[in-house]
Amino acid sequence: MKRFLRILQENLSEERISHSLGVARTAYYLAQKHLPEKKEKAFLAGIVHDIAREWPEERFIAYLLARGYEITSEDKLNPVVLHAPAGAYFIRDMLGIYDEEIFNAVSRHTLGAVDMTDLDMIIFLADLIEPGRNFAQRQKLLIASFRDLKRGMLLALENTLEYLTKKNKTVDSRTLMVLNYFREEVAKKSKI
Ligand SMILES: [Fe+2]
Ligand SMILES: [Fe+2]
């Protein structure tokens, strides 16, 4: 436990630790609603999800390359997204948390993925709605996420797309793919 805390402190600023605790707590509450048998796991994934967020880009790129991770041309345009998979490997290799579900949830917390598990969605959404976040749609996203994880994901991705469009920024093709996936998933649900 001491080592765990030391590694957290070595990698994260105080601000980021407080964000991570906010994500952990929010993930716990979301799990209490949607995945009660894994609420402790959600808490743990929340604490460690941003472990590589403050590394210099070259460090997480080198870290991933050393582990055979394939870096795409889109990753190179926006390398910060790579803190998610780099963090997942770091948690496995340095913190000794060998858990595939935590690995995936951490790895998918920036771009999301098609076929996300409930735990993946919980970490993705908790990252956005934790109490330290402050943006116009936060409350709406929080309510949607507690009601239904997939609807929460759809709203979150639509917000991202709107934000990037407004700012004239390029949209990662993976974000569009994941957005389409959740549009279909939510449409399917509405038909039932
Ligand atoms: Fe992150
Ligand atoms: Fe985060």
Q: What is the DSSP string of 76-133?
A: HHSGGGGHHHHHHHHHHHTS----HHHHHHHHTTTT--TT--HHHHHHHHHHHHSTT-
Q: How far is the CA of 191 from the centre of ligand 2 (A)?
A: 34
Alpha-carbon span 148 to 152, nearest angstrom: 6
Q: How far is the CA of 97 from the centre of ligand 1 (A)?
A: 18
Pick out the chain residues at pLDDT < 70.
Answer: 192
Q: How far is the CA of 111 from the centre of ligand 2 (A)?
A: 12
pLDDT in tens, 47-85: 999 999 999 999 999 999 999 999 999 999 999 999 999
Q: How far is the CA of 53 from the centre of ligand 1 (A)?
A: 6
Q: How far is the CA of 26 from the centre of ligand 2 (A)?
A: 12
Q: What is the pLDDT of residue 192?
A: 65
Which ligand has the shortest distance to the CA of 46?
A: 2
Q: What is the pLDDT of residue 3?
A: 87
Q: How far is the CA of 93 from the centre of ligand 1 (A)?
A: 18
Alpha-carbon span 117 to 94, nearest angstrom: 24
Architecture of domain 2-137: Orthogonal Bundle (1.10)
